[in-house]
Amino acid sequence: MDVVILGSGNVATHLGKALSHAGYNIVQVWSRNEVHAKELACRLGADHTNDLRQLNPTAHLYFVSVVDDVILTVLSQLKAGNRYRDDAMFIHTSGSTAIDVFNGLFNTYGVFYPLQTFSKVKEVDFKSIPVLIEASDFTALGIIRKLAYAISDRVEVVTSAQRKSLHIAAVFACNYTNYLYIIAQQLLEQNALDFDLIKPLIKETADKIQLHDPSEVQTGPAIRKDMAILEDHMKFLKANKEWQDIYKLLSDRLVALSTKK
């Protein structure tokens, strides 16, 4: 199957590589940024373009892996260009854009959402990444499921609303978690301490919930309702109003949670 990748960000990059390894033939990479298009195309042994009118018209699959607010524009331009096979399939990779973004544009389409955090600095093993899929019809679902299983061991069919809830859960559990790591790092640096000191703790915290329910393993002064410590920490953070606000909001919630139990 010939595949065109539209996009050159983290998801496009990791997905392109995984598809290529799985034997799919990546024929072209499109990106608004020509340098990025070329770079990724080069790694995938594909052509590249930054002009949507120059897309390969004989590909079987078009993966649209661009930021959410550009998906509709890209799809509309593809449709307007009208240079694709009748049986071509269009797929986006977003967590938060509903499948109905394709409505009225194409006949055969789907969503392929890999639930993972990708960054260019680190390789990931796609096999362990859950892929959430959705499609316009059963035939399309069959194609996208086969594709998903070619690169991942965990594939689930979900609705657009479920997918959005997964994306939001991922924002909490990954994006915001990483932001808390940033705060921890900066706090340690300000106190002449090495971020390395806290890495085993971060690892253990994530390892623990692989086998245990997170609400069973919650620890710390807030869940113990140790108000003196919470107050003392707030005082320590007084030079940084932003950290204080976050500390307060989260500790309040945990104290409330411990009271509910």
Q: Look at residues 32, 16, 15, 133 and name the one whose alpha carbon lies nearest to residue 74.
A: 32
For its own copies, give the closer residue by CB, 43 or 167: 167
* Burial track 3-19 (b if 16+ CB lie within 10 A, e otherwise): bbbbbbbbbbbbbbbbb
Shortest distance, position 126 Cβ to its own copies, whole Å: 10
For its own copies, give the closer residue by CB, 57 or 214: 214
Name the token pair of 95. Answer: 């967590």
The residue length of the chain stands at 261
Shortest distance, position 247 Cβ to its own copies, whole Å: 7
Shortest distance, position 226 Cβ to its own copies, whole Å: 6
Name the token pair of 239. Answer: 């030079």
Shortest distance, position 201 Cβ to its own copies, whole Å: 5
Q: Look at residues 79, 176, 155 and name the one whose alpha carbon lies nearest to residue 113.
A: 155
For its own copies, give the closer residue by CB, 149 or 236: 236
Shortest distance, position 180 Cβ to its own copies, whole Å: 5
For its own copies, give the closer residue by CB, 107 or 162: 162
For its own copies, give the closer residue by CB, 138 or 172: 172
Q: Look at residues 225, 214, 229, 232 and name the one whose alpha carbon lies nearest to residue 177.
A: 214
For its own copies, give the closer residue by CB, 86 or 216: 216
Shortest distance, position 111 Cβ to its own copies, whole Å: 15
Rg (CA), the chain: 22
For its own copies, give the closer residue by CB, 86 or 242: 242
Shortest distance, position 213 Cβ to its own copies, whole Å: 7
Which residues is 4 bridged to in the sheet?
28, 62
Alpha-helical (H) ranges within the chain are 10-21, 34-44, 68-81, 138-151, 160-170, 177-190, 199-211, 227-236, 241-260
Q: Are 58 and 52 in contact (CB under 8 A)?
A: no
